[in-house]
Structure 1
Amino acid sequence: MTDPSPSPVHISRAGILHGARVMIPLMPGLAVFGMAFGAAAAQKGFTALETALSSGLVFAGLAQMVALEGWSQTWTPAGLLALALLTFTINMRHFLMAASMRPWLGELPGWQAYPSLFLLADNNWAAAMRYRAKGGSDAGFYIGSGLITWVFWVLSSVAGQVIGGGIPDPKRFAIDLVVPAFFVAMLVPNWKGRREAVGWGVAAAVSVTASYLVPGWWFIVIGAVTGALAGGFADD
């Protein structure tokens, strides 16, 4: 007896609610990350509205953090180009993430599939791909998981801006450690064996060294490229 054909890809309210419910346990961690961004934005002089617009329209946590660190009251063409290149490099992973969803979302009409990519983030992408791997076909799961992520990110960013505006030195309260801790926590579930240590170790060592030798945020690009090359050579 052959397996039944998979259900056609569709979007339903039940799927949206299912995706949102699955993401709820991750929201406290995301909220802490968002509040850290909001507090940092307040220190840069952002208003609550500007913080909300940044998180609501850009919706890219690490890229927003990097842009904020390099934020200046006066801009030069070279400075803008450097910041644009750096944020582009950081977000290049979204190309691969979106491409991996093509076999699924590609079955939807373009007016549904392409706008939904605005909701693409690391956490809901991972949850959606697990759901799809188990045979799920309702694209509403991905949309619902992305919507709740977006809402929590915007609200926590604004809350962080309001609270952080009254903190004279966020480092005294270890706010600057929230982002590294968040991404370390994201890395742990992706550990697949000792071979992963080659790429990760090289990326960490090179990026830390580069942070002392090269000004700005270029150490992120340098570490990512060298780590990817090392991981490629270590792989069969």
Structure 2
Amino acid sequence: MSTTDTIADRSWSRARTAVLRDAVGVGVAVGALGLSFGALSVLAGFSVAQTSALSLLMFSGASQFAVIGVMGAGGGALTGAATATLLGVRNSLYGLNLASLLRLHGARRLVGAHLVLDESSAMATARSDPREARLAFWATGISVFVLWNIATLAGALGAHVLPDPEALGLDVAAPAAFVALLLPRLRGRRLWALAVAAAVIALIMVPLLPAGIPVLVAGLTAIVAAFTARRAGDR
């Protein structure tokens, strides 16, 4: 093996170690939020099995919180699904961006689609080397999936055996989680104004519409406003 190959192997080894370390760190941080989801899901009336199924099959944090939030407040299953779908649209956009990088086919494509998240997409797109980017995507996606599901089960079981889980203040965890997901994305006064306007619209609609519908109205209003502003900017 030449000196150049040896240096390249050592460089790749260091890069791989750094990627895996970061992936595990992201998985631990996101997985911790799964404890709140598991507990809140049980509080909303879902069983432990249903809660775990949501994390295993849906596996989209914000969308999962939306489902249990809407249905726990008395909204219907269709309303909960519509809200979750609206929040999950961004994952489709991530997938389009990652398709040329990952180049997956067959069963691997289905698995890869399931692991398209904010975190896995960010870790992949942050790296210029395609090999590092692919490793970052898979390592982060698997890390978050495993730890999120373990934490979900632990949170659901914990809430299931507690005599009064509401005394822990878990009812504010879902709104806090949404705020935590939203704040890093509000860059600039225009986005802040849009977020505040959507929140005001949702609050106004709460006494007028069934549970879950105000969130959909606010979300659709924000989308229309964003497209209108984009077209005006293009002109």
2:111 counterpart of 1:98: no
Task: Report the counterpart of residue 224 of structure 1 in structure 2.
Answer: 219
Q: How much does 1:169 deviate?
A: 4.2
Unaligned runs of 5+ in 2: 1-11
State the secondary structure of the residue aligned to 1:212.
coil
- Paired residues of 1:17 and 1:144 also in contact (CA < 8 A): no
Q: 1:17 to 1:52 in 2, by over 3 A?
A: farther
Distance 2:41 2:13 in 1: 35
- Paired residues of 2:115 and 2:145 also in contact (CA < 8 A): yes
Distance 2:194 2:47 in 1: 37
Q: What's the Cα RMSD here? A: 3.0
- Paired residues of 1:55 and 1:153 also in contact (CA < 8 A): yes
Task: Report the counterpart of residue 52 of structure 1 in structure 2.
Answer: 52
Task: Report the counterpart of residue 35 of structure 1 in structure 2.
Answer: 35
2:193 counterpart of 1:198: yes
Aligned residue among 157, 161, 171 for 1:162: 157
Q: How much does 1:34 deviate?
A: 0.8
Q: 1:68 to 1:194 in 2, by over 3 A?
A: closer
State the secondary structure of the residue aligned to 1:157.
helix
Unaligned runs of 5+ in 1: 1-11, 73-77
Distance 1:98 1:86 in 2: 20
C-alpha deviations, 1:44-99, integer Å up to 9, x for none? 2513x443333122212232233334558xxxxx9444443333223222221211
Query: How many matched pairs?
Result: 216
- Paired residues of 1:38 and 1:158 also in contact (CA < 8 A): yes
Higher helix share: 2
Distance 1:97 1:69 in 2: 25
Q: 1:39 to 1:100 in 2, by over 3 A?
A: same
C-alpha deviations, 1:2-44, integer Å up to 9, x for none? xxxxxxxxxx999876544213344454233211111123332
Q: Which amino acid is 2:100 matched to? A: P
- The percent identity for this pair of structures is 23
Q: Which amino acid is 1:174 matched to? A: G
- Paired residues of 1:63 and 1:91 also in contact (CA < 8 A): yes
2:148 counterpart of 1:153: yes
Q: How much does 1:158 deviate?
A: 0.9
Q: 1:140 to 1:13 in 2, by over 3 A?
A: farther
Q: How much does 1:168 deviate?
A: 4.2
**1:7-26 matched pairs, under 5 angstroms:** 18-26=18-26
Q: 1:169 to 1:97 in 2, by over 3 A?
A: farther
